[in-house]
Amino acid sequence: MNNSFAPPDNATSGKTSQKAIAVWLLLCCAAIFAMVVLGGVTRLTGSGLSMVQWAPIMGVLPPLNQAEWQHTFALYQQFPEFQIKNFSMSLSEFKAIFWFEYAHRLLGRSIGMIFLLPFLYFLYKRKIDRTLTPKLIAMFVLGGLQGLMGWFMVKSGLVDDPHVSQYRLTAHLGLAVIIYAYIFWVALDLLYPAIDETAKTANKKLARLSLSITGIIFITILSGGFVAGTHAGFAFNTFPLMNGQLIPVGLFELTPLWKNFFENIVTVQFDHRVMATSLLLIIPAFWWMVGRTQQEAHIHNGRHLMLAALALQLTLGITTLLLVVPVSIAAAHQAGAVILLTTSLFVSHQLRGRTNVYK
């Protein structure tokens, strides 16, 4: 029996391709998420400068025998981190930090393959829409730039002072988050390809507010990068006061003034607290505002997840501070930041009137 409501075969094929590409992109997001968390662990364990050479191709294999381990350790001993900080380190202790950095770099290479191979397959099978191709190419280029940025960051710690530049560290983190957000947004476009003009018009103000909140979350993540880069989290381990004061002494002691926001640990930690507190006020208000409107169930689910992610992230942040930055909780705090950003991106996307025409 002929069903006049059944979509034509090419429409069904297009739907399948769009969903397959979206799933692939979400898999890339998951890998980048793991990369961000592992990068945090690598930094927290002091492992980031253990590999002193950048070999994108030949560096895939780790040392495989005792002689290779001795050679790799000897290379590390030529640089300031060993000579100034870890001069008493044994080979077994070096291996412990090496494996974190090696896993971080290997995952980065793996993400390149996770992206490139399916991209070439979909391209060969002509499953990629013409408007999508430049977006995917941009993702791949950004991924390559992220690898270069990572090495640029590491190089800043291979000089006289064995300390990675907080500027380069934050740029590396920020670019990773941008790539993640861009890929996630494009995946959502594929999963929700239609636009409901009525909903788009009705939600215009909420959509703008949601995007603003997403921007604040991103800036808060960047401020967290400066906290990590300056080790500001190891100071003022009380909350909500800093050294018994709401406005701590030494907030703007550096000159010129702008340096305080990036190099003064008092200001850096204070700024991060202010950003987090602003989210504590803004997101619940936004949650209430969306709740007053008639929205689809997935938008309400998104706002609930956003509020829950905020509560989790604030709890992890305060716990990290009070316990003086334990590795596991601090890494969870970094993961929580990406989760909060993800929920905000989803809500922002849906408030633009995006719908799933295939449901």
- 138-157 pLDDT, tens digit per residue, is 999 999 999 999 999 999 98
Q: List own/partner pairs for 126-129 with CB under 8 A and 24 or more apart.
A: 127/17, 127/20, 127/21, 128/21, 129/18
Segment 9-14 mean pLDDT: 57
Per-residue model confidence as pLDDT tens digits over 43-55: 999 999 899 887 7
CA 3 to each of CA 6, 7, 8, 312: distance values in angstroms, whole numbers, following the listed order? 6, 9, 10, 49
In whole angstroms, give the CA distance from residue 260 to residue 242: 16
Question: How high is the pLDDT of residue 194?
Answer: 74
User: Nearest 5°: phi and psi at 281?
Assistant: -90, -40
Q: What are the domain boundaries of the chain?
A: 8-191, 194-359
Rounded-to-integer distance, Cα 169 and Cα 196, Å: 41
**pLDDT of 196 over the 80 cut:** no
Per-residue pLDDT band for 2 (boundaries 50, 70, 90) equals very low
pLDDT in the model for residue 7: 45
Q: What are the pLDDT digits (tens) for 236-295?
A: 999 999 989 999 999 999 999 999 999 999 999 999 999 999 999 999 999 999 999 878
Q: 200 to each of 157, 189, 191, 251, 351, how far by Cα in Å?
A: 48, 14, 17, 44, 7
pLDDT digits (tens, 9 = 90+) for 310-332: 999 999 999 999 999 999 999 99
Who has greater pLDDT, 353 or 18?
18
Mean pLDDT (the chain) is 91
Q: How much is the average pLDDT of 295-318?
A: 95
Q: Which residue has the higher pLDDT, 168 or 195?
A: 168
- pLDDT score of 80 more than 70: yes
State the pLDDT at residue 216. 97
- Model confidence at 333, in pLDDT bands (50, 70, 90)? very high
Cα gap 333→63, rounded to integer Å:
32
pLDDT tens-digit series, residues 118-131:
999 999 999 999 99
Indicate if the pLDDT at residue 36 is higher than 60.
yes
Question: According to the model, what pLDDT value does residue 263 have?
Answer: 96
Q: Measuring CA to CA, how many Å separate 245 from each of 235, 249, 318?
A: 13, 8, 17
Q: According to the model, what pLDDT value does residue 68 have? A: 92
What number of CA atoms fall less than 13 Å from residue 66's CA on the CB side? 0
Cα-only R_g, the chain: 23
Question: Does the global pTM surpass 0.85?
Answer: yes
Residue-level pLDDT at 12:
58
Find, among 57, 138, 41, the residue nearest to 97 by Cα.
41
Q: Which residue has the tokens 């700024």?
A: 271
- The pLDDT confidence band at residue 111, using thresholds 50, 70 and 90, is very high
Q: What pLDDT, on the 0 to 100 scale, is given for residue 3? A: 45
- Residue 159 is predicted with a pLDDT of 86
Instruction: Provide the β-strand partners of residue 194.
Output: 355
As a whole-number percent, the residues of the chain with pLDDT over 70 amount to 94
Nearest to 236 by CA among 226, 245, 223, 224: 245
pLDDT band at 114 (very low <50, low <70, confident <90, very high): very high
Cα angle 28, 222, 84; round to 5: 100
- Residue 199 and residue 354: Cα distance in Å, rounded? 8
Please name which of 152, 215, 176 lies closest in space to residue 28, comparing C-alpha atoms. Answer: 176
